[in-house]
Chain A
Amino acid sequence: MTAPSLAKSRGFDAATVRRLLPVYGVYVALAVLVLFNIAWTDNFLAWNNLRIQLVQVTPVVIVALGMALVIGTEGIDLSVGSVMALGAALIPLYLGYGMIPAIALAVVGGVFVGLVNGGLVAFVGLQPIVATLAMLVAGRGIALVVSNGKYKDIRDKDFLAIGTDAFLGVPYTVWIAAVLAVVVGFVVRRTVFGRRLLAVGDNRAAAQLAGVPVKRVLITVYVIAAVLAAIAGVIQVSRIGSADASRIGLLIELSAITAVVVGGTPLTGGKVRVLGTVAGAFLMQLLTATMIANNLKDSTAQMVQAVIILVAVYTARERRTR
């Protein structure tokens, strides 16, 4: 929106607000929360604090990016948390070969789960929620089996540096998330795959008849989501310094889905808002941070969160004019 159009804001009536809210609602909410924190939370604007928020939000952002793509195809991926655990569990297993092979294998683990998810959805025709629910259960099991049920401490300096060191003052993990967000944004907006993905999400039968390789698109989407989740798992391991398959990524699917939906991507598919998703993840992160910083009780925190999710999703919902 340019300045002149704001100037003649007589046209800025209820209808305009209604039209713009789904798109910009999440940013408004984010701004409100930031203002609240500036006013009430100590040291909020300190760079260190912002850095911590950025670092903590990265896993959710990365997972949510994949989730947004899956939701764009009218699917859902509940298995991301387990894939994170699997990626995490694979790291210590192969760190003996060095950092790169270990990360590569964690990614291969993600590809593996993604292929299974995608295969179940595309070829067998399972409901995404069921297919990935099965993988949610089995995936963590596999992660535990792989890691022998125990967590492992990591000592590889290079690997730990990913989680602790920074470039230009910004931690590597944040760079990684930013690059991934840009790449996903580019994929959605500018690539054949992105367009096809949206068409599949909007109308699968039509996409099929228009010559879109629907199955390949679906499988690719689930593979991407799983790979992103595995990367998030790797980052988490490097940050914590230990790979705990029973804990890593627990319930992250819910945070990711919330971030995506709050960001204005409808669960009905056919639309992906990458920037909105990132903003949605920040909103949820800032929300928890605010509540921890102000030492709210867990019970209050959860109830407040519930209400805010509802309000955010309500404003972000699509209003169809008929």
Chain B
Amino acid sequence: MTLVAEPKLEKAEAASLRTERIVELVQRQGALAVLAIVLVVGLVAYDDFRSFDNAGTILVSAAPAALIALGMTFVIITGGIDLSVGSLYVLGGVLAAWASQYGIAAAFAVPLAVCGLFGLVQGLVIAYARLAPFIVTLAGLLGARGLMLALSDEGGTTYLVDPGAFKDFGKGELLGVKYAVYLVAVLFVVGMVTLYRTRFGQSVYAIGGSEDAARLMGVRIRGTQIRVYVLSGLLAGLAGSINAARLGSGVTVLGTGMELDAIAAVVVGGTLLTGGAGTLGGTIAGVLLLQVIQNLINQDGGVSSAWQTVISGTFIALVVVAQTYLAKLRRVASG
């Protein structure tokens, strides 16, 4: 024990601490490391990959997925899961396109309000009825998609974005990069500050780490849970909104499987599905990684769609296996 043994073990402990740090760094930034490798491979192998335009394409394509993964990271750190985001994403897009006739403010506000409300209901059910998030948000997935179909006349009506500020937002660029990318970047910074530097963020980690302990330490469990699902709903709605601005219409055929992509990105980014640990930096790396891999497959052009799915699945498994292995190594190193 520390009191007794500290002085003697100091040297050995310092060494093992160092190993632990390195392993921890690799584990936390594993997705980033793989991303770097994949980028280098891409840069060397494919001429077209190197272009500025291609980087822009990757970033702008990753923007909605990144927003959804941002909310998902919060949810997963609390030990929950949100399967409704794909449906909320489509719903948000349809609502934004419809609301764009009332101006840019409405085009952002309406999806945020509706999807936020959806998240609120899910959060309330999870926090108060204490049903498993998996099931609640699975029902949310169906409910939000049903609502979207109802709004769009069973998918028959596609609302077009009105020409105006909202459409311009979708088209607008600053220094050759779309506005949406800046928005996502800003939100990630805000997200990081929230997660690491606010009491709410601390509660998110505490609940995921040990709900019982958090309760006894005075953390407001229900409040925090409700807030993360609202947050996730809001971000999914916003993702739908910026996507609608980009596509110029409220496309109804989107979003199937989006929730699984988001979960995969978050997990690849080193966030534990059991909750209590995870970083937003990892999530960004995870989102970009999946996007870049897709891009490289396209660059190659010779991979059939069947093999593409095999590659993606295997890749997810490999990254996660590597992370689990590193986590074990870390535990061993820390003795």
Direct contact of A and B (CB under 8 A): yes
Interface, chain A (partner B; CB < 8 A): 76, 78, 120, 124-127, 129-131, 133-142, 144-145, 149, 254, 257-258, 261, 267-268, 297-307, 309-310, 313-314, 317
Nearest CB in chain B to that of A145: its residue: B306
Chain A residues near B149 (CB-CB < 8 A): 297-299, 302
When the two chains form their complex, are residues A300 and B324 in contact, meaning their CB atoms are under 8 A apart?
no
- Counting CB contacts under 8 A, is B136 at the interface? yes
Nearest CB in chain A to that of B310: its residue: A141
Question: Number of residue pairs across A and B with beta carbons under 8 Å?
Answer: 141
B263's partner among A124, A133, A135, A268 (CB-CB below 8 A) is A133
Chain A residues near B310 (CB-CB < 8 A): 138, 141-142, 145
For the complex, what is the distance from the CA of A78 to the CA of B267, rounded to whole Å? Answer: 15
B313's partner among A141, A303, A306, A307 (CB-CB below 8 A) is A141
Closest chain-A Cβ to B266's Cβ sits at a distance in Å of: 10
- Counting CB contacts under 8 A, is B43 at the interface? no
If over half of A's interface residues share one DSSP class (helix, strand or loop), that class is named, otherwise mixed; here it is helix
Contacts A133-B264, A303-B150 given: A149-B132 contact, CB under 8 Å? no
Interface, chain B (partner A; CB < 8 A): 81, 125, 129-132, 134-136, 138-143, 145-150, 154, 260, 263-264, 267, 272-274, 304-314, 316-317, 320-321, 324-325, 328
Contacts A124-B325, A254-B138 given: A317-B313 contact, CB under 8 Å? no
Nearest CB in chain B to that of A266: its residue: B132
When the two chains form their complex, are residues A124 and B273 in contact, meaning their CB atoms are under 8 A apart?
no
Chain B residues near A127 (CB-CB < 8 A): 267, 272-274
When the two chains form their complex, are residues A141 and B130 in contact, meaning their CB atoms are under 8 A apart?
no
Chain B residues near A302 (CB-CB < 8 A): 142-143, 145-146, 149
For the complex, what is the distance from the CA of A120 to the CA of B132, rounded to whole Å? Answer: 24
For the complex, what is the distance from the CA of A76 to the CA of B132, rounded to whole Å? Answer: 13
When the two chains form their complex, are residues B150 and A137 in contact, meaning their CB atoms are under 8 A apart?
no
When the two chains form their complex, are residues B309 and A130 in contact, meaning their CB atoms are under 8 A apart?
no
Question: Could you name 16 residue pairs across A and B whose Cβ atoms are closer than 8 Å?
Answer: A120-B317, A124-B324, A125-B328, A126-B320, A129-B263, A129-B273, A130-B320, A134-B313, A134-B316, A141-B308, A144-B309, A145-B304, A298-B149, A299-B146, A302-B145, A309-B139
For the complex, what is the distance from the CA of A306 to the CA of B136, rounded to whole Å? Answer: 9
For the complex, what is the distance from the CA of A319 to the CA of B114, rounded to whole Å? Answer: 32
Closest chain-B Cβ to A303's Cβ sits at a distance in Å of: 4
When the two chains form their complex, are residues B136 and A303 in contact, meaning their CB atoms are under 8 A apart?
no
Nearest CB in chain A to that of B322: its residue: A124
A129-B263, A137-B264, A258-B138 known, 11 other contacts, Cβ within 8 Å: A124-B324, A127-B272, A133-B316, A257-B138, A298-B154, A302-B145, A302-B146, A303-B142, A306-B146, A307-B139, A309-B142
